[in-house]
Structure 1
Amino acid sequence: MTGILTLLFLGLMFLGMPVAFAIGVAFMMFYLFGPAPAMISVQKIVGATQSFPLLAVPLFILAGHLMNHSGITERLIRLSTVLTGWISGGLAHVAIMLSALMGGVSGSAVADAAMEARVLGPSMLKSGLSKGYACAAMSVGSLITATIPPSVGLIIYGYLGNVSIGRLFAGGIVPGVLMTVALMGTAYVIARRRNYKPELDAVPSPGEIGRAAWDCKWALIFPVFLIVGIRYGVFTPSEAGAFAIAYAIAIGVLVYRELSFAKLVDALRHSAQDIGMIMLIIMLSSMIGFVITLEAVPQTAAEFLTGLTSDKHVLMLLLVTFILFLGCLLESTVIVLLLTPILVPVVQAAGIDLVHFGLVMMTATTLGSMTPPVGVAMFAVCGIMKCPMNVYTREAIPFLGAVVGLIVVMIFLPDLVLAVPNWVFGPG
């Protein structure tokens, strides 16, 4: 019956029904016409709202919007320009570096992509960059924001898979840095072939870099506070979200003095929209867990996949291929909610570290937000920049290829991914 419900869900999605309601309608059929009492569906929906670890999701979303309105983003743009504006491709590198820096203050790739399209997009076109190249750099580059802590996707994965969120946060640092290098390398090669000019005329002096970095010090040290606080038990990941909100308000009001009451209201309004969308999906998706448990889907999937291969690397390649395919059809939050309860038992049985798999899975899952036909980050950037889909897709292929290559490296070099978690928290 699970397969029929999944097909119903996909059919409703293609008919244009919002994701949350497509999930709700499809899987409510199991409780109305299947073996489970209908009242269990309501219990599951309500129960999803009572999770303390899940409280981190709305808290970090609000914190990210507050930091965007507190003057931190503008300072990070200046630092990104100083660090990378002298490289061929100019503002494309600035956008990618900004995504890396924004990863420490925002957990949403879509929010980061939309912000960059509004703030940097017009300047990128004026500097001579093609519209497709600019959109691809901003859209695919925003994947870094969802990798470097704090990441909303990692919080959801950790909650559903019962995996340490602190270790996941620490594990996102090395992949995030490697992704920044890979995407900037791709942007540089394309820029050199097309003779795109740098944004700055000369390499900045150490003093200029130091002054720009000092101006951003409160944003740069926030991820350090976050990981150290979780590591030494100062706060839980959920409490860290509350700390992030207080931190953003304190910096915006007392230090930079740019967080006015009007900006605070605007941040609350955007946060309410994002939180409402994500939490509604999570609430209605909670019905799925009971369905797949009753239908023994994890056990069936584990037997099928382990029957195909006993090699960990091949198994992860198969799973990533499947996730990348789904990413072209479904929103990343939905994929995490649907697959985490199914795949975690599979990879556990295969002896794969759950932190390692979580980071590989989230990178592959979030990449779907940058690919047609339903990539949310792609739509956000292309909509703001008025870029045709075919133009974006053609220009994004090299950037997407770089990320896929990094995913393969992450699969075959787990020690690289787990280096920081093992150093900070000890061997898992």
Structure 2
Amino acid sequence: MAEILFPALFVLLALGLPVAFAMAISVFVALSFGSSYPNIVVVKEMFSGLDSFPLLAVPFFILAAEIMTAGAVTLAILRLAQSLVGHLRGGLGHANVVSSAMFAGISGSALADAAGPGAMMVRMMERGGYDRAYAGALTIASSVVGPIIPPSITMIIYAMQDQEVSVGSLFMAGVLPGILITLLVLLANARVSHRRGYASGAPMPSLREIGRIAAHALPALLLIVLIVGGIRFGVFTPTEASVIAVFYALLVAIFVYRSFRLRDLPDTILRAAIISGAVLLILGAARAFAWVLIIEGIPQMLAETIISWDLSPIVFLLAVNLLLLAFGLFMDPLPGVMILVPILAPISFALGIDPDHFAIIVIVNLTLGLTTPPVGSLIFVVSSAVSLKPSTLIREMPPFFLALALALLLITFVPGLSTWLPRVSGF
């Protein structure tokens, strides 16, 4: 079946079909022409892939993000970011990066980062004298931290595929790598801003003013503390944390920022349901795709082959980076996690690589695929938001590709970036 499955998938992706439909149809084709299994197996496996208690966290985190991204919440975060770094050279660009990092602790999604505060910052940067294509490229790069700083939907899916990690440990493991990526993108923006003469966005506010702005943004930023702290101290599970996040988001949006009304709730739930449906459809199709691979014995064959090569952990990690970067050119992170983690994670564990460390390497690699053509979703989201061709944005990306590649190398070869925080926090 594999000799039919993969060509069918690549042809369908090349034709522009959404990833979920491409995977599901390729499985149907493989079963129809390469096996005696009935096609109903595809539907059964898709439902089996969604029949999971931890997976309930996904729609609730999406709903919490939809509630929290009301205008006043987003503006509070943007104002805080601008008050902290807006006075520096390239300050509006720095504010774009910092606000993405803050917003990551609310949304857990790179695409939400790009479509929310990222799109707003592009307009602000253009009014401040920045080239629109550069502002869009910076937004693409800064949005990468969305799935890396907790809470993260990708981390929830990863923990379902690898029993050696937990959602809580992955949430903690992503904090320092997320900060590292943010710092390196800030350095890239500083270098380009100095070369192009992009000025600061505003004079530096007083400490009292910064404190006032920070106090206004604090209720939104406390969401990440509530989620990670509650999971760490055993107050609730990750799935329960997602429900609590919804109620916290409602309280903050209604009573603190007054940017949300109860009559807005049905429309918000509908938007969250549509996004959740798209995500769950991808996960279900990925489960059916992975089932065919397992039936064909491909994971076991690859594992035995790689182990027989007797690779050192460093060489193995380098090979994994190349494989995942290539895979990310054609596949979104969620199906990538579901297909590749069951194959690669046991091998990394057998080689003595820390499971949290390996998980962050996989997640960062696959997330970087969102920034690269031909399937890079971030490119198309930002392209639509700023009304520019994807090719125009890609031409501005090299400084940020370099920063992201350096971050990936440091995350790969400095395990402490991913393992220190889970260890000291007791995960």
Question: Does the 8 Å CA contact 1:132/1:396 hold for their aligned counterparts?
Answer: no
Q: Does 1:346 align with 2:347?
A: yes
Aligned partner of residue 73 in structure 1, secondary structure:
helix
Structure 1 regions of 5+ residues with no counterpart?
Answer: none
Q: Does 1:54 align with 2:70?
A: no
Paired letter, 1:249: L
Question: Does the 8 Å CA contact 1:160/1:341 hold for their aligned counterparts?
Answer: yes
- How far residue 97 of structure 1 moved from its aligned partner, in angstroms, is 0.3
- How far residue 289 of structure 1 moved from its aligned partner, in angstroms, is 3.0
Q: 2:252 maps to what in 1? A: 251
- Judge which range, 270-279 or 294-303, deviates more: 294-303
Paired letter, 1:111: A
Q: 1:9 maps to what in 2? A: 9
Mapping of residues 224-303 of structure 1, within 5 Å? 224-261=225-262, 263-303=264-304
Question: Does the 8 Å CA contact 1:104/1:219 hold for their aligned counterparts?
Answer: no
Mapping of residues 383-422 of structure 1, within 5 Å? 383-422=384-423
Whole-Å Cα distance in 2 between the matches of residues 369 and 238 of structure 1? 26
Q: 2:152 maps to what in 1? A: 151
Whole-Å Cα distance in 2 between the matches of residues 174 and 305 of structure 1? 30
Mapping of residues 12-411 of structure 1, within 5 Å? 12-32=12-32, 33-69=34-70, 71-162=72-163, 163-201=165-203, 203-261=204-262, 263-308=264-309, 310-411=311-412
Whole-Å Cα distance in 2 between the matches of residues 173 and 311 of structure 1? 27
Whole-Å Cα distance in 2 between the matches of residues 303 and 221 of structure 1? 46
- How far residue 70 of structure 1 moved from its aligned partner, in angstroms, is 6.7
- How far residue 306 of structure 1 moved from its aligned partner, in angstroms, is 3.2
Aligned partner of residue 293 in structure 2, secondary structure:
helix
Whole-Å Cα distance in 1 between the matches of residues 10 and 334 of structure 2? 15
Question: Does the 8 Å CA contact 1:309/1:315 hold for their aligned counterparts?
Answer: no
Question: Does the 8 Å CA contact 2:97/2:139 hold for their aligned counterparts?
Answer: yes
Q: How many residues align?
A: 425
Whole-Å Cα distance in 2 between the matches of residues 330 and 391 of structure 1? 22
* C-alpha distance 3-227 of structure 1, shift in aligned 2 (>3 A): farther
* C-alpha distance 215-368 of structure 1, shift in aligned 2 (>3 A): same
Question: Does the 8 Å CA contact 1:89/1:187 hold for their aligned counterparts?
Answer: yes
Whole-Å Cα distance in 2 between the matches of residues 333 and 391 of structure 1? 27
Question: Does the 8 Å CA contact 2:85/2:94 hold for their aligned counterparts?
Answer: yes
* C-alpha distance 289-371 of structure 1, shift in aligned 2 (>3 A): closer
- How far residue 322 of structure 1 moved from its aligned partner, in angstroms, is 1.4
| TM-score of the two chains, using structure 2 as the length reference | 0.95
| TM-score of the two chains, using structure 1 as the length reference | 0.95
Aligned partner of residue 325 in structure 1, secondary structure:
helix
- How far residue 297 of structure 1 moved from its aligned partner, in angstroms, is 1.6
Structure 2 regions of 5+ residues with no counterpart?
Answer: none
Superposed CA deviations along residues 227-251 of structure 1, whole A, max 9, x for unmatched, are: 1111121111111111111110011
Paired letter, 1:18: P
Whole-Å Cα distance in 2 between the matches of residues 90 and 278 of structure 1? 35
CA root-mean-square deviation: 1.7
- How far residue 37 of structure 1 moved from its aligned partner, in angstroms, is 4.8
Paired letter, 2:6: T
Superposed CA deviations along residues 198-249 of structure 1, whole A, max 9, x for unmatched, are: 1012x33222221111111112222111111111211111111111111100
Paired letter, 2:388: C
* C-alpha distance 378-309 of structure 1, shift in aligned 2 (>3 A): farther
Superposed CA deviations along residues 168-194 of structure 1, whole A, max 9, x for unmatched, are: 001111011111111101100110011
